[in-house]
Homo-oligomer: A and B are copies of this chain.
Amino acid sequence: MTTDGQSTNESAVQGALSKLKAVGGRVTSARIAVLSVLEASSGHLSADAIATAVQVLQPAVHRATVYRTLESLVEVGVVSHTHLGHGAAVYHLIAEEHIHSQCQRCGRIVDLDAGLLAAAGRVLLSEHGFVLDPSHSALLGTCAACAATATVTAT
């Protein structure tokens, strides 16, 4: 869980900016805004949602800048993105690695323990030499609620 609470509140943003500078990047209001939004949210924001939230902090920031900023942050390694089944990818600050699952029916996203795919990852590595990135793609399926309310009378 490691829900830091307040102690390390700004450190995530600060740390991200530091890494950015380390690579020759620059600290701009747009980037600070994006990082702030990411930190403020508990997670799972699409680039578009981030852009909207950023508009509130920095009305001048353009959507394209948000995309570019996210790209840079991913490159630096402080942000991670996950591809959902149908819609847009979701971004979040890298904290503890976790896996996402999404319900195909209601679209809800659920965080899962990273260990869930540890075994599979191990098999992939030993049998295929494939290095699995567990958090990069969501596991798709049907959540409990939707599974119950539907498919009662299939076909």
Contacts and interface: CB of A to CB of B under 8 A. Distances in A.
A68 to B, nearest CB: 17
Q: Taking the full assembly, how many copies of this chain does it contain?
A: 2
Given A83-B86, A119-B119, A136 B128 contact: no
B85 A104 contact: no
Main SS of chain A's interface residues? mixed
Contacts of A85: 83, 136-137
Given A83-B140, A86-B83, A133 B104 contact: yes
Contacts of A117: 117, 120, 139
Interface of A: 83-86, 101, 103-104, 110, 112, 116-117, 119-120, 123-124, 128-133, 136-145, 147
